[in-house]
Amino acid sequence: MKDNIEAFLDLVKERNGHEPEFLQAVEEVAETVIPYIVQHDIYYGKNILLRMVEPERLISFRVSWVDDSGEIQVNRGYRVQMNSAIGPYKGGLRFHPTVNASILKFLAFEQVFKNSLTTLPMGGGKGGSDFDPKGKSDNEIMRFCHAFMSELFRYIGPNTDVPAGDIGVGGREIGFLFGMYKKLRNEFTGVLTGKGQSWGGSLIRPEATGYGTVYFAKSMLETKGDSIKGKKVTVSGSGNVAQYAAEKILDLGGKVLTLSDSSGYIYDEDGIDRAKLAYVMELKNEKRGRISEYIEAYPKAKFVKGKTPWEVKCDVAMPCATQNELNGEDAKMLLDNGCMCVSEGANMPSTKEAVHTFQKARILYAPGKASNAGGVATSGLEMSQNSLRLKWSRKEVDNKLKDIMSDIHKSCLEYGKDEDGYIDYVRGANIAGFVKVADAMLAQGIV
Ligand code: NDP
Ligand code: 2IT
């Protein structure tokens, strides 16, 4: 078995050796899915995984725009169309200076499995740009988004590829992107998700990733007869996912101790309650400030510069910022401090060492492709509403989101339960996600 996995990874490394994040994501899938393929004749010998690691299409393009001082800026735009076996490509756009082909290929690869898990008919894709939105005026953001879409529009469409938000892309950016797409195509379609409520957006989409991550943690805790109530939770990030994870933790009676951004974390021993969370939402979403400003409003809390929240004692940890933000040392600290559950809101926030540390300690650990799938699932619900030309109520969407997260949890149990009862959510999510896509690929032949 080891030989099979190594031979496969050697081949992937030969072709993508300069893409560490992509290789990390592929390795995790290969380690769990290849043993399953070897045991199942219908998948064996068909090079299905080798086909899945090669994007169906990778588009890279120039984005030129003019900043407020009249200077011409040039950024690089991308869209990775990874797999369309079970539906149109679907996945977010990330605007962050670190964006490159490796990061977007890892995200697109994860997205294929995640979207398959949602039970909805969506293929996988991801895109974005190395554009840095920090410190840009609204007008600069608009000009960049318009320039970006003036090229991307050729490759997407409501039945082809439906982008959405990710780091650095929220409601404001989706509005500008949609506006340019509509103008160029002269069509009002559901080509993007995360739209505003008055022009085709779904209720609960902004909340969905964070809520879903907490619903998933709830399902995990229930396998131990436990709940979120009374739990001390450390959350990283302070963007879209972190904010709504915090809100749902409060709804379910948990205590939120931390939030962070790329400068450091804040620790509020008394808990970040609803009023404090409302302050954070305004600070981050309206004023576009830094999390360190929290201590000006709440001086009893402390700001720890340049560090991540994993040194704070907690029962449950929810990394909701970015990839590889929680390493092996952090995992050990969490375990030493009694952490019993990790539900990932971000994509691949735990390094390989951290994942193995959690699994060895047999705590409840869910990989992002399972626990953060609520965001894209609700994007799928937005697409359905757009096709039907109607709008479901908040309650309807939230109930569907809850059902989907519970179905994802069941799929993980189906493929990830060990004989001694331990649930390997990584194996469960990878195999369940793989089977649906692989079956569709087999049915459609070698294309
Ligand atoms: P936002 O842009 O709203 O927020 C990102 C947060 O993460 C900010 O607090 C940001 O801090 C922090 N962050 C970003 N890069 C780094 C870094 N290199 N080191 C430390 N902190 C960092 O993005 P989202 O909340 O939407 O996304 C967060 C994570 O969740 C990402 O991994 C994304 O892929 C994933 N995700 C998002 C979904 C969605 O629907 N939006 C769905 C599923 C997953 P700063 O302001 O300092 O950059
Ligand atoms: O990583 C993700 O799942 C997202 N950024 C959301 C993608 C989407 O299409 O809603």
pLDDT, one tens digit per residue, over 125-162 is 999 999 999 999 999 999 999 999 999 999 999 999 99
Does ligand 1 lie within 6 Å of residue 309's CB atom? no
Cα–ligand 2 centroid distance for 194 (angstroms): 10
Residue with tokens 């957006």: 201
User: Per-residue pLDDT for 1 more than 90?
Assistant: no
Cα–ligand 1 centroid distance for 241 (angstroms): 7
Ligand 2 contacts (CB < 6 A) are 90-92, 111, 114, 164, 166, 193, 347, 375-376, 379
Which residue has a Cα nearest atom 3 of ligand 2? 376
How confident is the model over 424-436, as pLDDT tens digits? 999 999 999 999 9
195, 376, 378, 405: which to mutate for ligand 2, most atoms within 8 A of CB?
376
Residue with tokens 């972190």: 242
Cα–ligand 2 centroid distance for 378 (angstroms): 9
User: Is residue 352 annotated as a catalytic residue, yes or no?
Assistant: no
The residue among 91, 89, 87, 90 whose CA lies nearest residue 121 is 87
How confident is the model over 390-406, as pLDDT tens digits? 999 999 999 999 999 99
DSSP type of residue 286: I
% the chain with pLDDT above 70: 100
CA–CA separation, 164 vs 194, rounded Å?
6
| Structure token pair of residue 254 | 């948990």
Q: Which atom of ligand 2 is nearest to the CA of 166?
A: 5
The residue among 441, 440, 439, 433 whose CA lies nearest residue 414 is 433
Does ligand 1 lie within 6 Å of residue 206's CB atom? no
Q: How many helices (H) and strands (E) does the chain have?
A: 16, 12
How confident is the model over 404-414, as pLDDT tens digits? 999 999 999 99
User: Per-residue pLDDT for 288 more than 90?
Assistant: yes
Exposure on the CB side of residue 203, measured as CA atoms within 13 A = 11
Cα–ligand 1 centroid distance for 81 (angstroms): 21
Once rounded to an integer, what is the mean pLDDT over residues 367-384? 98
DSSP type of residue 371: H
Q: Rounded to a whole number, what is the distance in angstroms from the first to the last CA of the chain?
A: 28
Cα–ligand 2 centroid distance for 54 (angstroms): 20
% the chain with pLDDT above 90: 99
**Residue of 105, 126, 218, 284 marked active site:** 126
How confident is the model over 110-125, as pLDDT tens digits? 999 999 999 999 999 9
User: Per-residue pLDDT for 34 more than 90?
Assistant: yes
Identify the pLDDT of residue 65: 98
- Angle 187-148-174 from CA coordinates, rounded to 5°: 60
pLDDT averaged over the chain? 98
Does ligand 1 lie within 6 Å of residue 210's CB atom? no
Q: Is 445 left (phi over 0), alpha (psi -120 to 50) or beta?
A: left
How confident is the model over 56-77, as pLDDT tens digits? 999 999 999 999 999 999 999 9
Identify the pLDDT of residue 2: 83
Once rounded to an integer, what is the mean pLDDT over residues 36-58? 98
Which residue has a Cα nearest atom 37 of ligand 1? 166
Cα–ligand 2 centroid distance for 433 (angstroms): 16
Residue with tokens 């294309």: 447
Once rounded to an integer, what is the mean pLDDT over residues 298-308? 98
Helix (H) / strand (E) element for 7: namely: helix 2-16
pTM of the model: 0.98
Question: Domains along the chain?
Answer: 57-188 (3.40.50.10860), 207-366 (3.40.50.720)
111, 204, 397, 404: which to mutate for ligand 2, most atoms within 8 A of CB?
111
The answer to whether the beta carbons of residues 26 and 55 sit under 8 Å apart is no
- What lies within 8 Å, CB to CB, of 94 at 6+ separation is 103, 104, 107, 126, 127, 128, 129, 166, 167, 168, 169
